[in-house]
Amino acid sequence: MLYYSVDQIATVLHASYLQQADTSSHVEHLLIDSRRIIHPPTALFFALKTERRNGHDFIAEAYNKGVRQFIIQQTVDINPFPSANFLLVQDTLKALQQLAAWHRQQFSIPVIGITGSNGKTIVKEWLNQLLSDHFNIIRSPKSYNSQVGVPLSVWQLQPQHTLAIFEAGISQEGEMQALQNIIKPTIGILTTISEVHAEGFKNAQDKLNEKQKLYAAAHAVICSPEKLKPLVFNQPNVFSWGEANSNNVVISNIEKQLTQTTISFSTETLAGNITIPFTDDASVENAVTCLSVCLYLHVPFSDIKDKFTQLRPVSLRLELKSGLHNTTIINDSYSADLSSLTIALNMLLQQGQHANRSIILSDFQLTAEQEQTTYTSIAALIQQYHISRLITVGEKTKLLLAPLVAETTAVHSFSSTAELAEQLPSLGFQNETILIKGARSFELDRIAQMLEQKTHQTVLEINLGAIERNIRAHQQLLKPSTKIMAMVKAFSYGSGSYEIANLLQFMKADYLAVAFTDEGVALRKAGITLPIMVMNPEPVTFDALIDHNLEPELFSFSILHAFEHYLEKEGISSYPVHIKIDTGMHRLGFMQQELAALAEILKKNTFTVQSVFSHLAASEDPAEDAFTLQQATEFETACSFLQSQLDYSFIRHIDNSHGTIRHPQLQYDMVRLGIGMYGVSAAAGILHLEEALQLKTTIAQIKQLQPGDTVGYNRRGIITKPSAIATVRIGYADGYPRNLSNGNGYMLIHGKQAPVIGTVCMDMTMLDITGIADVHEGDDVTVFGPPLSVVEVAKQSQTIAYELMTGISQRVKRVYFEE
């Protein structure tokens, strides 16, 4: 791996030493985020300053995690950091760009620079799919195309690479020159020019002129000038494609079928066709762009023809979900431009389960010159796609768009997202497909969540104050250096992932752990920035895992090799992972005899081991303490061996909630807190833990029954004396166990026990409230939670509290409170 000394970097950046502690150090990795630190001994941290964040505030955090090289632009107190090198520059962002540009100069391979309003990431990913057999490719991770993303992408360039593909994205004048200096593309690609991010430019021509600066030193620029008209594209070395015979690649026919498109083309020396598994216009244009690049690079057509049929879609930010009242929600609430609107409308059209189609649309961010033509085009699309109802958010859509479609489409206009949220129930969405489309600043994702939200008179109340106190109680048993990994899998033991994760983030937990990738994705979308371990990653979710900076647990060679292959395919190295060792649980994990082979793989540059851990099988059981200590011995042996094979340290952890209380000597570097956070533990009394969950429902109806009457299905509940029977709004579909029927379980009404009578139904349960005074329809009922312990209810159901808590249905509303 190519690396540089700190002195070399100081020279390149014309930097001065604020503190020079160790000039023998070298740099392999660049960091801008103290929360994502890989290989700290060889990392260089740039303290970037933005409007909202000052990277200098996170130097201590990075230093405490092992980073010793820092680029700063303001003086800092160096006394707390005696072994750190501090290089002082005028501007840390420009220094980052300057260093990446100098790194780029060390290579003379072909470098492709891609810019355009849409399609950059798709073209880059498809080129990788098409050319990976012919080149060792390095490319931008996903859409790293900004002033910060580009230098981080280019820094990944290494001597083994034979082709580089980098994206360049801009949002205002004056930005492209810096990116051109870094990428220095030998081949340029221009995809499209649209109004997306247009607010930073006077007009579309001005935007195109800025983008063309990327090609200042390019040998060729691949694009379709005829698609750009009436804009003027002034480049001397254009390798063009289009319908005109003057193009280098002439498109003679495009034949769309049900699920694929065949594109016929010719050049001076070749005539042929390709078939792609897509039918939309954007995919056709992106495919022709990729074809033109392959032909320019003189890749034999026979080598790539079949590869076009195997092109895979690149994930876009369109979410399709089931909504309330038999609706389907398409959530594209992150961007607002004509091109992406057309893509979203195509998806709307494909959802054939509902005849009615509605759009919730925010203002677009446009210049004054663009507004009239853009909203006229949107009006045409609304009519073309037979939209039944338009809901506008913002003043511009109300004034400029609504009148254009009012005769053919029902229109409702709101000034703000808050106003729409308040009036949402009155719109009466049902039996329809709803597209939510808007600029990120309007935060229409809030509306999507409301439309997806499930409401129910049965509620699970979560006491956040109790959770906080329970965590602090566990911390009293830990050394100051011991980290905490909080388990938020299974919807945080039924209590709600985001809200609990937000509390844990506020309390500065060190790690979160989820069971599956989608749980981690939901936390990221909700703004959780803590490191997250995914305990059961699946290959089909690797894209989402990487996109959202999630860290997988690797427990077998099959998942290890699958993830290794994926990272190599994506051009990603040193990705953080967690290794699980089987010390006796015999569920998941590497066995002792597999460690030698495991170590050989971990020595590669593909992974960075963040932690090694195991799972105690019976930490709560005094009768199994000898086995618990045997597990700990095997774990220590495994960790010692792996540490001897790796040239960096990792976190060790084996204690869970029960183990933290009963076996504090096994806390090692980190403990995993799960159900103990909610006050449920065999040793709860030792720490005075508080149960944090209370499941409550209400009485739907009260009946007065006489001897001989029966209650419920199959007449299981038999009345033997005059009785008052209350039907409450909870059943097995909500997670209330069916085996609590016929008096096996009870609930509390006014603090009194009300036994279950008859069989627990799907949505309802009947209680015998005879003898309980002053009970009325609508009164609250405690299903479990103080004073009726969830542990007690679990015993009645012949199960454990874990199962009862995690089995609470998502249709049960979660209510969070703090005393």
Q: What is the pLDDT of residues 290-310, one digit of tens each?
A: 999 999 999 999 999 999 998
Which 3-state string (H, E, C) describes 724-755?
EEEEECCCHHHCCCHHHCCCCCEEEECCEEEE
| 197: its two tokens | 């991010």
Distance between CA 412 and CA 435 in Å, rounded? 15
Whether the predicted pLDDT of 316 surpasses 50: no
Whether the predicted pLDDT of 323 surpasses 90: no
Percentage of the chain lying above the pLDDT 90 cut: 64
Catalytic positions are: 489, 713
* Residue owning tokens 């003679």: 252
Provide CB contacts within 8 A for 53, sequence distance 6+. Answer: none
Nearest to 734 by CA among 627, 809, 644: 809
pLDDT, residue 494, reads 47
* Residue owning tokens 């809030």: 446
Residue-wise pLDDT tens digits, 31-87: 998 866 767 888 999 999 986 579 999 999 999 989 999 999 999 999 999 999 999
Amino acid at 783: V
Within 10 angstroms of residue 192's Cβ, the number of other Cβ atoms is 19
| 603: its two tokens | 């020595």
Distance between CA 352 and CA 330 in Å, rounded? 13
- Across the strands, what pairs with 71? 46, 87
* Burial zone of 813 (CB within 10 Å; 0-12 exposed, 13-18 middle, 19+ buried): middle
Residue-wise pLDDT tens digits, 228-243: 888 888 888 999 999 9
Distance between CA 315 and CA 603 in Å, rounded? 31
**DSSP label of 216:** T
Whether the predicted pLDDT of 806 surpasses 50: yes
pLDDT band at 198 (very low <50, low <70, confident <90, very high): low
The pLDDT mean for the chain works out to 89
Nearest to 751 by CA among 774, 721, 735: 774
Distance between CA 509 and CA 761 in Å, rounded? 41
Q: What are the angstrom distances between the C-alpha of 138 and each of 123, 158, 218, 567?
A: 14, 8, 18, 12
Residue-wise pLDDT tens digits, 439-491: 767 888 889 878 875 555 788 888 878 898 899 889 888 998 899 999 887 55
Whether the predicted pLDDT of 372 surpasses 90: no
CB 90 within 8 A of CB 73: yes
Q: What are the angstrom distances between the C-alpha of 92 and each of 74, 88, 169?
A: 9, 9, 20
- Whether omega before 787 lies within 30 degrees of 0, making that bond cis, reads yes
pTM, two decimal places: 0.52
Q: Is 564 helix (H, G, I), strand (E, B) or coil?
A: helix
* Residue owning tokens 């699309």: 381
DSSP per-residue codes, 265-327: EE-SS-EEEEEES--SHHHHHHHHHHHHHHHHTT--HHHHHHHHHTPPPPP-S-EEEEETTTE
Nearest to 763 by CA among 806, 809, 794, 797: 809
CB 126 within 8 A of CB 304: no
Provide CB contacts within 8 A for 61, sequence distance 6+. Answer: 34, 35
pLDDT, residue 1, reads 67
